[in-house]
Amino acid sequence: MKITKRYIAAFAALLLSVPAWAQVPAPAAKQSKPVLLKGATLHVGNGTVVENAAVGFDNGKITYAGPQSGANLNGYEVVDVTGQHIYPGLIHTNSSLGLNEIESVRATIDWREVGDFNPNVRSVVAYNTDSDIIPTIRANGVLMTQLTPIGGTVSGSSSIVQLDAWNWEDAIVKADEGLHLNWPAMLIETGNATPDPRLRGRAEAREETLNQLAKLLRDGAVYKSGKHDSENLKLAAMAGLFDGTKKLYIHANYGKEIIEAVNFVKPYGIKDIVIVGARDAMAVVDFLKANNLSVIYSGVHALPGRSEDDVDMPYKTPYLLHKAGVPFALDYDLSIHGIRNLPFIAGTAAAYGLDKEQALASVSLNAAKILGIEKQAGSVEVGKDATLVVSAGDLLDMRTNNVTSAFIQGRKIDLNNKQKFLYDKFDNKYKIDTKGVVN
């Protein structure tokens, strides 16, 4: 077909007609001058609330956080946020954000690799900073996430990223901070008079998987000791497990599986273990405490795991964990679209026993501590990154959450996204005038 000027003009017009939301907003420029937010209620993230507060930051770091009366305004660009609330940027754990775009297109799914044992896989190198989902999540106050690989028995390493970057290298907050182990499900007899012949096969397959895992851990410990002649990328990736510089995240829900998994890995000298999922956490709470285990609890907005459980058991488990003294954070499982509801997960926990500030900590400072980034994130304190959120209402309340501005490492980020564009588009189309008539 002959390409004419008419076709070129038509194609150019088509490109110009693509709405602005089709592209993810460009990352914000580095903070160029000191900023001080004044007049808001400050929710520090560690349980402290300061009325009529001020928060100052310069070069991406918080320089002041406290009563407005004590703030030094000299040299700062003062932003009046009176009547609003300042929170630390929320942190989502156990996430595949940016690793999965279109479910039906294999080339866009980077959250898992072929094979059962992949400790050398690094999820962060596949992170897509241009995901359309990221801006919708930031708009609700979630500014950091833990990129987590899934699949197989040993999935690979997770990394912590902030959600406003040109590429994965710029996004990294902490790289390869933990290894993820999906514990093989236990096989439970149903009590049928005639045993299922398939059960034996599954039991043998599970036993073989555990044998391979034991060998991997054994070889990893030997490799870490320096007793090897050649480089092994899989074993090298596991080295941090044995000196405490890398966490082991065990994904398990069933109480007996949690106990079995921890008892299985501890003899190999693994020092820092976190249980992810933990639906049965309260059934094994004494075991969690005795072994100094932290928990990433995934099931707040879910049905009870057992028929005998209270109907509100998932809602009140965070309070029960707090009451028992078990360190925990909350996540929204691996639903990338649901991450935007992370603050409301914490809000539900607050409605079922947790104090509002304790609930905030479960998605901010507690998460930062579990992930090992509490010295730079998780709370609004002097010396930490200026990663924070300003909301006109209660950030944890779905009815009043209204993020008016957000900063990542001192950079004011663009909060526009596709969902806001669509809301405004159809709000204007079906706008109702004062007489109740659709325009």
Say which CATH number the domain at 346 has. 3.20.20.140
- Residue 207 predicted with pLDDT over 60: yes
Instruction: Flag whether 171 is in a domain.
Output: yes
Please tell me whether residues 26 and 166 are part of one structural domain.
Answer: no
Instruction: Flag whether 77 is in a domain.
Output: yes
- Residue 438 predicted with pLDDT over 80: no
Q: Which residues pair with 274 in a beta bridge?
A: 249, 294
Band (262; pLDDT cuts 50, 70, 90): very high
Instruction: Flag whether 286 is in a domain.
Output: yes
Q: How far from 358 is each of 329, 355, 432, CA to CA, in Å?
A: 10, 5, 41
Over residues 282-305, the mean pLDDT reads 94
Q: Which of 159, 28, 163, 139 is nearest to 93 (CA)?
A: 159
390-406 per-position pLDDT tens digit? 999 999 999 999 999 99
Please tell me whether residues 32 and 174 are part of one structural domain.
Answer: no
Instruction: Flag whether 430 is in a domain.
Output: no
Please tell me whether residues 73 and 120 are part of one structural domain.
Answer: no
Q: How far from 416 is each of 91, 325, 423, CA to CA, in Å?
A: 20, 40, 11
What is the model's pLDDT at position 357? 97
Q: Which of 337, 333, 334, 363 is nearest to 348 (CA)?
A: 363
Please tell me whether residues 130 and 240 are part of one structural domain.
Answer: yes
Please tell me whether residues 241 and 388 are part of one structural domain.
Answer: no
143-201 per-position pLDDT tens digit? 999 999 988 999 999 999 999 999 999 999 999 999 999 999 987 766 565 667 777 78
Please tell me whether residues 142 and 214 are part of one structural domain.
Answer: yes
Tell me the average pLDDT of the chain.
89
The domain boundary, picked from 321, 353, 376, lies at: 376
Please tell me whether residues 68 and 144 are part of one structural domain.
Answer: no
Please tell me whether residues 142 and 253 are part of one structural domain.
Answer: yes
What is the model's pLDDT at position 270? 94
Give yes or no for a contact between 346 and 23, defined as CB atoms under 8 angstroms apart.
no
Instruction: Flag whether 33 is in a domain.
Output: yes
Band (432; pLDDT cuts 50, 70, 90): low
Instruction: Flag whether 34 is in a domain.
Output: yes
37-48 per-position pLDDT tens digit? 999 999 999 999
Strands (E) located in 89-150: 90-95, 142-147
**Does pTM top 0.75 for this prediction?**
yes
Please tell me whether residues 365 and 386 are part of one structural domain.
Answer: no
- Residue 315 predicted with pLDDT over 70: yes
C-alpha span between 424 and 431 (Å, rounded) = 10
Instruction: Flag whether 5 is in a domain.
Output: no
Q: Which of 174, 143, 179 is nearest to 369 (CA)?
A: 174
- Residue 116 predicted with pLDDT over 80: yes
Please tell me whether residues 268 and 234 are part of one structural domain.
Answer: yes
- Check which CATH number belongs to the domain holding 396 and give it: 2.30.40.10
- Domains: count for the chain: 2
Give yes or no for a contact between 330 and 336, defined as CB atoms under 8 angstroms apart.
no
SS3 state at 74: coil
3-state helix, strand, coil in the chain (%, to 5): 35, 25, 45
What is the model's pLDDT at position 21? 46
User: Which tokens hold the place of 232?
Assistant: 């092994």
Please tell me whether residues 249 and 145 are part of one structural domain.
Answer: yes
SS3 state at 381: coil
Q: What range does the domain containing 386 cover?
A: 18-88+378-418
**CA 422 remoteness from chain centre:** 26
Please tell me whether residues 358 and 211 are part of one structural domain.
Answer: yes
- Residue 283 predicted with pLDDT over 80: yes
Instruction: Flag whether 11 is in a domain.
Output: no
